[in-house]
A = this chain, B = another copy of it.
Amino acid sequence: MSHDSGAAAVREHEQRCKIITTAERLFRQIGFQKTTVADIARELRMSPANIYRFFSAKSEINAAVARQLMGEVETAAEAIATGPGSAAERLRRLVQSNHTMNAERYVVDRKLHDMVQAAIEENWPTIDEHIQRIESIFQRVIAAGMEAGEFRVGDARLSAKLVCGACIRYCHPRLMVEFADYPEPTCDQMVDFCLAALRAGE
C-alpha cells in the first residue's frame, strides 16, 4: 500500500467514525427513526451524497451505531475478564458492568431503547454478534475458574449460556424496564445463586 492510499484509508476511517458519532448523538436527541441522513449531513456540514459514499443506506448507519454502543459494552467486559480477581469476582463484575452500561444506554435513554428494541425485534445481526461475544467472554472466565478449582469442572460454554440466561433481566433492555418495580432478586443475589451452581456443578 502506498503512503497515499494509507493516508486515504485513515481519512476514510475518520470520516466513518465522525458519521457514526454524530448519528449516535442525534439518535439520543431526536430518536433513530426520526433522524434522517440529511440531518446527519447537516450536522457535519457535508452533503448527503458524501454520507452515501460511506454508508449505502440509513439502515447501515443504524447498524453501525448499534455496533458501536454494544462494542463499548464488550470492550468493558473484555477488560474485566482479563483483569485482576478470582473468576467469581470477575463474573460478578461482568454481570454488573453489563447491567450498568445497558441501563445507561437503554433504560435512562428511552430513545436508544427504541433503537435496540427495533434491533432485537428485526433481528439485526449486531444483536446476535453481541450475545456471542459476551457469552464467549463469560465462557473464558468460567473456564479459568474451572481450571483454578474455583468451579466444578464441566462444560464452560454451556455454563456461560446458563449464567447469561439466568441474569437476562439485568441486561435485556425491555426486561430492565418491565422489572423496574420488582427490586428482588437483586443482580448480586442472582450472581450468588449462579456462583453456587457453578461451584456445585450441575
Contacts and interface: CB of A to CB of B under 8 A. Distances in A.
Interface in A15-62: none
Query: Which of A165, A185, A194, A201 neighbours the largest number of chain B CB atoms within 10 Å of its CB?
Result: A165
Interface in A152-202: 158, 161-162, 165-166, 168-169, 172, 174-175, 178, 182, 184-185, 189-190, 192-194, 196-197, 199-202
Interface of A: 120-121, 131, 158, 161-162, 165-166, 168-169, 172, 174-175, 178, 182, 184-185, 189-190, 192-194, 196-197, 199-202
24 contacts: A120-B178, A158-B185, A161-B184, A161-B185, A162-B185, A162-B190, A162-B193, A165-B166, A165-B185, A165-B190, A166-B193, A166-B194, A168-B175, A175-B175, A189-B202, A192-B202, A193-B194, A193-B197, A193-B202, A194-B197, A196-B201, A197-B200, A199-B200, A200-B200
